[in-house]
A and B are shown apart, each in its own frame.
Chain A
Amino acid sequence: MKRKLISALLCAAMVGTMLIGCGGGGDSKSSDGGSDGGNKLVYWAMWSEEEPQAKIIQEAVEKYTADTGVEVDVQFKGRTGQREGIEAALGAKQNIDIFDESADRVNRAWGAYPMDIEEMAKDYEAEHGNELLFKICRETAGGTLKSIPYQPYIYGFFYNKALFKEAGIDAAPKTWEELDAACAKLKEAGITPITGDTAYQNNAFGHHMARFVGQDGVKTLVNDPAVAEKVESGEIEDITWDDPKVAEAVKAIEDFASKGYYSENMSANVYPAGQNQEFAPGEAAMIWCGSWLPNELKNAVAEDFEWGFFCYPSVPGGVDDETANNVGAQVLAINKDSKMAKEAFELITYITAGEFDKKMTEEAMCIPTDKANGDAWPAELAGAKEGFDSTVTFYDEAVGAETNVDLTPVLNESVCKLMAGTMTADEFISACKAASGE
């Protein structure tokens, strides 16, 4: 009997210890170091702590706290951390007031969580809002405003102006023929015309193909599941890999490859080899990338490096011209369950407008998002400003070329091989056709 009693007591003690050890604090409503939702804002940021953007955000937060007395718990999650964690955290009703990522991801993939801020943002938009960026935010959120854009970007060809001059090229190419001529001159001058990193080649291909068949055409071509219904209903035309325009587009790249316009390392340049080892030292004249490139290369290029930029050239008989570009932005959204929405919105205005938006342009070479800072574009992005301002049609990420996960790995490999000249146009088409499930 005594032994039984001791056993029972021991068991009870052990279970009790385990429960105390494993259980969360009874008073805390947050399991992630967050606040209790009372007087502290929780902001999950997509940046890593050491990035210049993160440092400026931190400064903005400190200023906000000093001005308002509202404390902010900023958690820099990094891209991967944010993509893997935020949806689960929001779904589990974790206390998060503000979160950010690209407009597409926040408004579409995580669209169930942001708060509608049409009313709240009215005055802010009138004073600071960039028309194009707010249009993107609304369209990605199904017609209403659920996020505030910041950190805008545009994809395009960055080029080394000095190398263009050396090869005798006076103006940035606007058409495919002009690009062809420019590449020929560069090649003649012994300069590699185009380099790039494999990470961005689906994006380049998306732009290229969209010049021939438009963004919807690209999406149907890759069998994007999101447009399947529209194709079935006949709302958009179904472009297949057998389409003559597709063949024409692919052959245009094959032609460039056969003329040796692409770097010989094109298919082996795993990011950031192309930008760091070929473009920055001036071995190659052009590279396809997003407008964050000057910031990434600021310590790698020569002091007198002259940055040039042009949008993807138009093609004869094409659908879109250089006014259609992959322009986007990161966006800040407020959790629809936030109890501090007003404070959260005020913090967002600190980050996205005025002093700290300007600081982003100076210290992280970003495009300004506040229209009042319209003339604060970094000198390195002067060319990109022209492309950005002239953009009428904005493309999705990679112009929809990366929307079919079953095809994306094959497409990326095939585009790189096509540019490297190790795959023909016909082989390219049959590889993509098989992988896209046609």
Chain B
Amino acid sequence: MKRNKGMIIGFLAPAVIMFLLVFLYPICRTVAMSFFKIDAVTSTADTWQFVGIGNYQKLFTTDIFKTAMFNIGRIWLLGGIIVLVLSLLFGVILTSGIRGKKFFRAIIYLPNIVSAVALATMWKQYVFSPKFGLLKGILDTLGFHELAKTQWLAPENVFWALLFAYCFGMVGYHMLIWMSGIERISPEYYEAATIDGSNKIQQFRYITLPLLKGVFKTNITMWSISTAAFFVWSQLFSSVTANKATIVPAQYMYMNTFGGGNAVTERNAGYAAAIGIILCLCIVIIFTVCNAVIKDDDLEF
């Protein structure tokens, strides 16, 4: 082993150096930036004005940032429950040996291969249209005429419209992760359980669920990361500038980096960096809590 040390170092060094340059340097720079007032992302360090924890203090006293954090919190929690439960349900159904598995899997996954811009446009201009929308048509057909008049994109409802549309697209992705986990479980367990007289629900509760703990952790982490970077959908459901009902931290960060909307506004890349750091910390906390709460190393199969 000792003789190979040089070889190990030699082969690792380029990758490590590249990693440090491409990842560690931007991370350190972002952390440093968050303590300065900086006009543009590319401003040279000599133009930075040190503000200490001023950016963080301002963030925690700014209403719109708190609203953005509340919105992203709701998307993470409620959207997470909806997406993970639905995707698990579909995953279990599709791995239960039904006919047309490949077809349904492709259909459910399909929204993931369509551009978010196209999807969001379809949702807001067609599905949610109060004039000729799909939703209006369905509700009218079912006789819910009052409900059909709902202004889905009005400030009171637009958050839920956005959440629904986003979750619709995300189910397929998480379903695939669940399915890969379920398919890893040996069918022998189910056969043994069936012989012992357990029904499908019991099998799901006592075999599938416990053996999916690791996959669950993966799903939560993936969901948290994609939620923290949530931006395109909010942007597309907004007017030119962000809307209060759907604003998320990444959008607020963008507004402070590149300016908000058509007007020229004050920019502060340091303030935006502080938002990035806060989002990053949120993911680290979620990941740590998940690791502490969900132990998946007690079962081997």
Please list the residues of chain A having a beta carbon within 8 angstroms of any beta carbon in chain B: 3-4, 7-8, 10-11, 14-15, 18, 22, 83-84, 87-88, 91-92, 102, 104-105, 108-109, 197-199, 201-202, 225-226, 264-265, 267-271, 273, 277, 396-398, 400-410, 412-413, 416-417, 420, 422, 434-435
In the complex, how many angstroms separate the beta carbon of A319 from the nearest chain B beta carbon? 20
Residues of B within 8 A of A109 (CB): 259, 264, 267
Contact indicator A18/B242 (Cβ below 8 Å): no
B84-92, B140-148, B153-161, B174-182 - the one binding chain A = B153-161
Contact indicator B64/A406 (Cβ below 8 Å): yes
SS class, residues of chain B in contact with chain A: loop
Contact indicator B14/A14 (Cβ below 8 Å): yes
Q: Which residue of B lies closest to A277 (CB)?
A: B131
Q: Which residue of A lies closest to B161 (CB)?
A: A268
Interface string of B42-70 (1 = CB under 8 A from A): 11000000000000000000111001000
Contact indicator A416/B155 (Cβ below 8 Å): yes
Residues of B within 8 A of A15 (CB): 14
Interface string of B115-155 (1 = CB under 8 A from A): 00000000011000111000000000000000000011111
**Chain B count of residues within 8 A CB distance of the other chain:** 51
Residues of B within 8 A of A435 (CB): 63-64
User: Can you list 25 A-B contacts (CB < 8 A)?
Assistant: A10-B10, A11-B14, A18-B14, A83-B258, A87-B42, A91-B42, A105-B259, A109-B259, A199-B239, A199-B240, A202-B239, A264-B151, A267-B151, A269-B153, A271-B240, A273-B129, A277-B129, A402-B261, A407-B64, A408-B261, A409-B238, A409-B242, A409-B247, A410-B63, A422-B156
| B263 close to A (CB within 8 Å) | yes
Contact indicator A409/B241 (Cβ below 8 Å): yes
In the complex, how many angstroms separate the beta carbon of B237 from the nearest chain A beta carbon? 7
Contact indicator A268/B151 (Cβ below 8 Å): yes
Of A84, A199, A202, A413, the contact of B155 (CB 8 Å cutoff):
A413
Interface string of B1-30 (1 = CB under 8 A from A): 001001100110110001000000000000
| B295 close to A (CB within 8 Å) | no
Contact indicator A104/B264 (Cβ below 8 Å): yes
In the complex, how many angstroms separate the beta carbon of B236 from the nearest chain A beta carbon? 9
Residues of B within 8 A of A277 (CB): 129, 131
List of 3 A-B pairs having minimum Cβ-Cβ separation, nearest first: A91-B42, A11-B10, A268-B151
Contact indicator B266/A225 (Cβ below 8 Å): yes
Interface string of B259-301 (1 = CB under 8 A from A): 1111111110000000000000000000000000000000000
Q: Please measure, in the bound complex, the distance between the C-alpha atom of A100 and the C-alpha atom of B92, giving whole angstroms.
A: 54
Contact indicator B243/A268 (Cβ below 8 Å): no
Contact indicator A267/B154 (Cβ below 8 Å): yes
Contact indicator A434/B130 (Cβ below 8 Å): no
Q: Please measure, in the bound complex, the distance between the C-alpha atom of A11 and the C-alpha atom of B13, giving whole angstroms.
A: 9
| B256 close to A (CB within 8 Å) | yes
SS class, residues of chain A in contact with chain B: helix
Contact indicator B265/A405 (Cβ below 8 Å): yes
Contact indicator B10/A105 (Cβ below 8 Å): no
Contact indicator B155/A4 (Cβ below 8 Å): no
Residues of A within 8 A of B200 (CB): none
Residues of A within 8 A of B264 (CB): 104-105, 108-109, 396-397, 403
Of A108, A197, A413, the contact of B245 (CB 8 Å cutoff):
A413
Residues of A within 8 A of B239 (CB): 197-199, 201-202, 270-271, 412
Q: Please measure, in the bound complex, the distance between the C-alpha atom of A379 and the C-alpha atom of B14, giving whole angstroms.
A: 65
Q: Which residue of B lies closest to A92 (CB)?
A: B42
Of B18, B42, B62, B67, the contact of A88 (CB 8 Å cutoff):
B42
Residues of B within 8 A of A18 (CB): 14, 18
In the complex, how many angstroms separate the beta carbon of B134 from the nearest chain A beta carbon? 15
Contact indicator B11/A11 (Cβ below 8 Å): yes
Given contacts A225-B266, A412-B239, A412-B243, is CB(A4)–CB(B43) below 8 Å? no
Q: Which residue of B lies closest to A434 (CB)?
A: B63
Residues of A within 8 A of B130 (CB): 265, 268
| B255 close to A (CB within 8 Å) | yes
In the complex, how many angstroms separate the beta carbon of B43 from the nearest chain A beta carbon? 7
Q: Please measure, in the bound complex, the distance between the C-alpha atom of A44 and the C-alpha atom of B238, giving whole angstroms.
A: 27
Residues of B within 8 A of A201 (CB): 239
Residues of B within 8 A of A11 (CB): 10-11, 13-14
| B31 close to A (CB within 8 Å) | no
| B40 close to A (CB within 8 Å) | yes
| B41 close to A (CB within 8 Å) | yes
Residues of B within 8 A of A264 (CB): 151
Contact indicator A270/B155 (Cβ below 8 Å): no
Q: Which residue of B lies closest to A264 (CB)?
A: B151
Q: Please measure, in the bound complex, the distance between the C-alpha atom of A69 and the C-alpha atom of B263, giving whole angstroms.
A: 38
In the complex, how many angstroms separate the beta carbon of A297 from the nearest chain B beta carbon? 15
